[in-house]
Amino acid sequence: MWAGPTRPGTTEGGTVRRLGVGDLIAAVIIAVIGSAIITAVAFGH
């Protein structure tokens, strides 16, 4: 999912990651924003 240098908690292949707090917060924010955009596009006409 992340292309770039491996960070602590990642394996070489990047298949198994240990999610840090920052990653979890980022995932939640992305999910909320994404759903908000989808809702706006679907019902904003």
Q: Position of tokens 């999912």? A: 1
25, 31, 23, 29: which is closest to 14 by C-alpha?
Answer: 23
Q: Name which residue leads in pLDDT, 44 or 12.
A: 44
pLDDT at 9: 52
User: What's phi and psi for 10, nearest 5 deg?
Assistant: -105, 150
* Higher per-residue pLDDT: 31 or 9: 31
Task: Name 10's bridge partners.
Answer: 17
- What was the pLDDT predicted at 30? 93
Predicted pLDDT at 32: 95
Confidence of residue 4 (pLDDT cuts 50, 70, 90): low
3-class state of residue 18 by DSSP: coil
Give tens-digit pLDDT for 20-45.
777 788 889 999 999 999 999 998 77
Residues whose CB falls within 8 Å of the CB of residue 2, separated by 6 or more in sequence, listed in order: 14
